[in-house]
Amino acid sequence: MHIVDRFLGYTAINTTTNREAGAAGVMPSSPGQRVLADKVAQELIALGLTVAVADNAILTATLPANVAGDLPSVAFFAHLDTSAEHTADTHAQLVSYEGGDICLNPELQITLRQSEFPELANYVGDQIIVTDGTSLLGADDKAAIAAIVNAVAYLQAHPEIPHGTIKIGLVPDEEQGLRGAKAFDTERFGADFAYTLDCCGIGELVYENWNAGDAEFVFHGASAHPMSAKGKLKNSLLMAHKFIAMLPGGEAPEYTEGREGYYWVKQMQGNSANTVLKLDVRDFTEQGYQQRMTLLDTLGKSCQALWGEQSVSYRLSDRYSNVFNSLQGENRYPIELALAAYETLGITAKPIPMRGGYDGAVLSQKGLPCPNLFTGAHNFHSIYEYLPVKSLEAASAVVIEIVKLTHARFSR
């Protein structure tokens, strides 16, 4: 099966993550994720792998080594779900790109414009997979699944290529707090190192991401009828707004880039009596992250002192840490293998700090060193998401090359 047909088959399954179900503890949060896991499981079984799909849709698979020796086992990960920004079914289409704009949907007048997405110019003469403008494409992260399965099919078709044990992991609900990775049993899985495929354009390589935390503040006011509110009404909404005003100016997502951290006021809900405020905290350095969490703790205590201890309650928690912390010293070799694979294939490596999280950050914290490789897609979480075919093929080629280089490095 051609990699494009494989990918298009995956996009036909709606795997939109369901935030409400996820918040209630359901995993997978949407039934399509289990459908996709079962489909991929059957494909891998047909290729000769040992496969298991758990009740929570976590898929694990093993391709045994075809050579003797004590080689490390390498794993490749992808996630099953797509983001909740758009929930409609995907109607993917393959276009031959000759430059300029791409009309995604003539009826709805939805166009992928080169003026807005100038990187399109890099793909003139290529075939590009796009949507009809009414949904996400789902290349985040079905392109990864297609690239991994295609690589396994290639290796099985070429038994002359020596390799150690290869493992595959597919996890649900990455798009809502890396839930699948957090539930993944790395010890039982048994891999020595791993890669996720969950970043964008060809050549990108991630081995830095946020130290990430969550903050929830609850402001407890006192309600009263406005006709007799003087001296009685204590408006929790205004308390929350005053708290927000105390955050450092300019340190928000819309004002930052690169390695600049931020506080993201993500959600506020309530009334004059009670208001819940939720924030995301992000910083690339451990010191910067701890300083941000300390500031929030200080602000919380200051508000308690100002309005009364019972007026403000809050909770600060860690979500995931910078994968860079887990890829140093003797654990750096997965980065070196990825860079060598890119070079062998003539792909210019573009290491980038990811202003977000990915499953590999959680897996690395669990003792499974895990950088992040490109899928080749652009504009994740958007109806303008697109996937150049040559980039998708290159992602699969990188997987194959890493397998080859692992044998070459550790069979000496």
CATH number at residue 225: 3.30.70.360
Q: Examine the domain organization and report whether 370 and 278 are in the same domain.
A: no
Binding-site annotation: residue ranges for Zn(2+): 79, 140, 175, 198, 381
Residue-by-residue DSSP string for 210-268? -EEEEEEEEEE-B---GGG-TTT-B-HHHHHHHHHHTSPTT-SGGG--TT--EEEEEEE
Q: Whose structure tokens read 């409609």? A: 88
Cis amide leading into 140 (omega within 30): no
Q: Are residues 88 and 196 in the same domain?
A: yes
Tell me how many domains the chain contains.
Answer: 2
Last residue of a domain, one of 319, 342, 370: 319
Residue-by-residue DSSP string for 65-113:
-SS-S-PPPEEEEEE--B-TT--SPP--EEEE--SS-EEEETTTTEEE-
Q: Is the pLDDT of residue 344 over 90?
A: yes
Answer yes or no: is pLDDT of 378 > 80: yes
Inform me whether the pLDDT recorded for 223 exceeds 80. yes
The rounded distance, in Å, linking the Cα atoms of 289 and 397 is 37
Q: Give every strand in the sheet of 350-354, ordered side by side.
A: 50-53, 59-63, 166-171, 74-79, 193-199, 372-374, 204-209, 350-354
The answer on 185 and 217 residing in a single domain is no
pLDDT at 208: 94
Place of tokens 């700090």: 353
Q: Are residues 385 and 281 in the same domain?
A: no
pLDDT of residue 8: 98
Is residue 81 part of the annotated active site? The answer reads yes
Query: Look-up: residue for tokens 């200051």?
Result: 302
- The residue type at 371: P
Distance CA 141, CA 170 (A): 10
216 band by pLDDT with thresholds 50, 70 and 90: very high
pLDDT at residue 15 tops 90: yes
pLDDT > 90? residue 302:
yes
Q: What is the mean pLDDT of the chain?
A: 95
* pLDDT value at residue 356: 84
pLDDT for 360 = 94
Please give the pLDDT value at position 243. Answer: 98
* pLDDT at position 357: 83
- Domain span at 158: 3-208+323-411
Determine how β-strand 127-130 pairs with β-strand 93-96: antiparallel
Which of 264, 292, 319 corresponds to the end of one domain? 319
pLDDT in tens, 248-276: 999 999 999 999 999 999 999 999 999 99
Q: What is the mean pLDDT of residues 389-395?
A: 98
Span 51-65, mean pLDDT? 98
Q: How confident is the model at residue 368 (pLDDT cuts 50, 70, 90)?
A: very high
- Per-residue confidence (pLDDT) for residue 2, from 0 to 100: 95
Same domain, 111 and 46: yes
Where is pLDDT greater, at 234 or 56?
56
- Closest CA relative to residue 74, chosen from 86, 62, 84: 62
Q: Which pLDDT score, from 0 to 100, does residue 374 have?
A: 97
Q: Output the domain CATH number for residue 141.
A: 3.40.630.10
Query: How large a percentage of the chain has pLDDT more than 90?
Result: 92
- Based on the fold, state whether residues 163 and 233 are members of the same structural domain: no
- Give me the pLDDT at residue 370, please: 96
Catalytic residue, from 43, 132, 174, 385: name it: 174
Q: In the prediction, which pLDDT does 125 show?
A: 96
10 Å CB burial of residue 68 (0-12, 13-18, 19+) is exposed
Q: What pLDDT shows up at residue 325? A: 87
Catalytic residue among 43, 81, 208, 283: 81
Residues 117 and 70 grouped into a single domain = yes
Q: Can you give the pLDDT at residue 255? A: 96
Does one domain contain both 125 and 36? Answer: yes
- What does the DSSP assignment read for 144-157? HHHHHHHHHHHHHH
pLDDT at 175 over 80: yes
Last residue of a domain, one of 289, 319, 349: 319
332 and 262: one domain? no
Q: Which residues are annotated as a binding site?
A: 79, 140, 175, 198, 381
Q: How much is the average pLDDT of 372-398?
A: 97
The answer, yes or no, to whether the previous bond of 28 is cis (omega within 30 of 0) is yes
* 8 Å CB contact between 167 and 60: yes
45: phi then psi, degrees, rounded to nearest 5: -60, -40
Q: Give, in order, the Cα–Cα distances in Å from 198 to each of 28, 142, 298.
A: 19, 9, 36
Pinpoint the alpha helices (H) of 12-63.
19-23, 31-46
Does 231 have pLDDT greater than 90? Answer: no
* 304 and 343 part of one domain: no
Say how far apart CA 237 and CA 255 lie, in whole Å: 25
* 98-119 pLDDT tens trace: 999 999 999 999 999 999 999 9
User: What pLDDT sits at residue 44?
Assistant: 98
∠ Cα 152 166 150 (to 5°): 15
Provide mean pLDDT across the span 36-57.
98
Q: Are residues 138 and 193 in the same domain?
A: yes
The confidence band for 127, taking pLDDT boundaries of 50, 70 and 90, is very high
User: What's the pLDDT at 225?
Assistant: 80
Q: Is 174 a catalytic residue?
A: yes
Residues 189, 60 contacting (CB under 8 angstroms) = yes
Confidence of residue 126 (pLDDT cuts 50, 70, 90): very high
Whether the per-residue pLDDT at 229 is higher than 80: the answer is no
Judge whether residue 317 has pLDDT over 80.
yes
User: Same domain for 33 and 151?
Assistant: yes
Per-residue pLDDT, 69 = 86
Quote the pLDDT of residue 37.
98
Query: Rounded to whole angstroms, what are the CA distances from 301 to 307, 316, 380?
Result: 10, 13, 39
Cβ neighbours of residue 272 closer than 8 Å, sequence gap 6 or more = 221, 223, 233, 234, 235, 236, 237
